[in-house]
Amino acid sequence: MPIRLGPFVRTINKKLLRPILSFLPLPSPYKSPLCLLLLFSHFSSEEFFLLSSPFSHLLRRRSWSSQTVSEMESLGLRAVGSHCSLSEMDDLDLNRALDRPRLKIERKRSFDERSMSELSRHDSPRGRSVLDTPLSSARNSFEPHPMMAEAWEALRRSMVFFRGLPVGTLAAVDNTTDEVLNYDQVFVRDFVPSALAFLMNGESDIVKHFLLKTLQLQDSEKRVDRFKLGKGVMPASFKVSHDPIRETDHLVADFGETAIGRVAPVDSGFWWIILLRAYTKSTGDLTLSETPECQKGMKLILSLCLAEGFDTFPTLLCADGCSMIDRRMGVYGYPIEIQALFYMALRCALAMLKPDGDGRECIEKITKRLHALSFHMRNYFWLDYQQLNDIYRYKTEEYSHTAVNKFNVMPDSIPDWVFDFMPLRGGYFVGNVGPAHMDFRWFALGNCVSIMSSLATPDQSMAIMDLLEHRWDELVGEMPLKICYPCLEGHEWRIVTGCDPKNTRWSYHNGGSWPVLLWQLTAACIKTGRPQIARRAVDLIESRLHRDCWPEYYDGKLGRYVGKQARKYQTWSIAGYLVAKMLLEDPSHIGMISLEEDKLMKPVIKRSASWPQL
């Protein structure tokens, strides 16, 4: 068990002392008294941090006693405090689960080796954010931007309470319009950046309550007309309704049955699992994810995706508008956003599921699916200069296992813009791959989540960042970040969106710029050791977002105009900014929302050679 050093030591950060002492050539019984002696004698906490900073690399690696770590590992999860290295964050090793020999792959300098020092230039030793919150302190920190105080205030104004407990944040608190629509609800996907901001600030209660409330909602009966939805479906959003007569609150959820287009949110369940892991990682509290309710909730979500059927691909087939892009936008079939979230949720669940009863069976299914899914995505969704050239030269109508052009993609269907867009260095996961179908559009969320989850190999992650730098004007322009690139226009817009007036060219989901995506971009930058890219994006946000009252999205080729129908005081724009700032301030927060490489990586196999190995 960890040594109990009492509240005084805890405020300084008990995790810092133990590892330092463990390097001293002393038998461990002496270390705990020595620790206390050190604390009570010479050093103030600030001095202690100064003294210990040269050892920060070691501290990050050795922040848990080996016994604690092994206890947690035996439960399939590693505890990581807010000071941790990516090497500590390695979840249940897929290799072990599959019982395969490890394949050593060549990779560039890892995050640990290269960038902790670069990244921690602005580290806050307290691992908390600054400003306007009882738990944060500006001491020992770089000068905070005044926007952060405003952002915390606005985030707190959006908090929703159920019977006195905080359970989420409203999608928007826009007093400039009467047109509320459904922005007065707590959206599962929208709450994720709020939750991360609260976790990074040491406020985990709201996240725990949210996870438990949405889990209860999963249990309710969901119908669209006379058709019943699967048990595992998680709500898109919920609302707290107050009964003034009985003086009680109750929750009303939407599972897609009242949403535009009547589509169930496939992403909600994945975000729920990802958030459960973030909560567990951040707090070290294993008791929540281990409850029979949470274990069951995860299994129900996954049973919707892991059921055997007619599928010939390991990717998840879904309807248009089932995620952040919740309107018809030609993202049906196998959209990258869902595949990346699916992969990440599978890996998070693998780290949290208990191998008992049906848990074991679920773990086996996940492991096999991950193996096939990563192979499929890394090979068939990946596009770079070389791959584009190969597709350009594809033969069609190939039969049998020797086919190179497996999905019969017609080279004529490659849009002209891709040839100009694709740099010689760089690449990305395309929007969709299906029979005779390749959607070449670049989507921000799918590519960033691919990096965070390590669905992208280290080389692919670097290439995604290279492309982003190369195509900065197109993908970032004046406001981070384009939801997708390029937009649909003219005839294509009419056919693909069904003439949607909200999704006109360079607006909203059709090439609009969404400030919320800043946090995902920042996480990807930190994971790949390129924080300077995120800092550039943050500068752009800081030059406008507050002045424009935190809009939901911006329009135009450069993202210069506040979106036609954008809400103001959109909560995830606010929370996304806070998360990005806190990630840059203390990059070790990345552990909450990042997964280390799964070590299953194989060298990229040529399409023609892949069949015998699958």
Residues that bind ligand GLC (CB under 6 A): 171, 187, 189-190, 324, 326
Shortest separation between residue 340's beta carbon and ligand GLC, angstroms: 16
Nearer to ligand GLC, 239 or 536 (CB): 239
How far apart, in whole angstroms, are the C-alpha atoms of residue 20 and residue 3? 14
Shortest separation between residue 347's beta carbon and ligand GLC, angstroms: 23
Nearer to ligand GLC, 324 or 481 (CB): 324
Nearer to ligand GLC, 119 or 336 (CB): 336
Q: What is the DSSP string of 23-89?
A: TSSS-HHHHHHHHHHHHHTT--HHHHHHHHGGGHHHHHHT-S-HHHHHHHHHTT-----SS--GGGG
Shortest separation between residue 190's beta carbon and ligand GLC, angstroms: 5
How far apart, in whole angstroms, are the C-alpha atoms of residue 440 and residue 445? 15
How far apart, in whole angstroms, are the C-alpha atoms of residue 384 and residue 462? 12
Task: Pick left, alpha or beta for residue 550 (phi over 0 → left; psi -120 to 50 → alpha; otherwise beta).
Answer: left
Nearer to ligand GLC, 480 or 529 (CB): 480
Shortest separation between residue 189's beta carbon and ligand GLC, angstroms: 5
Shortest separation between residue 261's beta carbon and ligand GLC, angstroms: 11
Q: Which amino acid is at 548?
A: D
Residue closest to ligand GLC, measured at CB: 171
Shortest separation between residue 480's beta carbon and ligand GLC, angstroms: 17
Nearer to ligand GLC, 190 or 585 (CB): 190
CB-based burial label for 151 (10 Å; 0-12, 13-18, 19+): buried
Nearer to ligand GLC, 260 or 410 (CB): 260
Nearer to ligand GLC, 269 or 458 (CB): 269
Tokens linked to 257: 């049955």
Q: For residue 170, what are the contacts with CB-CB under 8 A and spacing of at least 6? A: 158, 160, 183, 184, 185, 186, 571
Is the Cβ–Cβ distance between 575 and 155 less than 8 Å? Answer: yes
Shortest separation between residue 237's beta carbon and ligand GLC, angstroms: 7
Shortest separation between residue 468's beta carbon and ligand GLC, angstroms: 22
Nearer to ligand GLC, 79 or 541 (CB): 541
Sheet holding 237-243, edge to edge: 186-187, 237-243, 248-254
How far apart, in whole angstroms, are the C-alpha atoms of residue 598 and residue 478? 36
Q: Is 447 helix (H, G, I), strand (E, B) or coil?
A: helix
Nearer to ligand GLC, 421 or 553 (CB): 553
Is the Cβ–Cβ distance between 520 and 448 less than 8 Å? Answer: yes
512-545 burial string, b = 16+ CB within 10 Å, else e?
A: bbbbbbbbbbbbbbbbbbbbebbeebbebbbebb
Shortest separation between residue 464's beta carbon and ligand GLC, angstroms: 22
From 416, 374, 373, select the one nearest 392 (Cα to Cα): 416
Q: Could you tell me the CA-to-CA distances from 176 to 162, 363, 567 in Å, in that order? A: 26, 49, 9
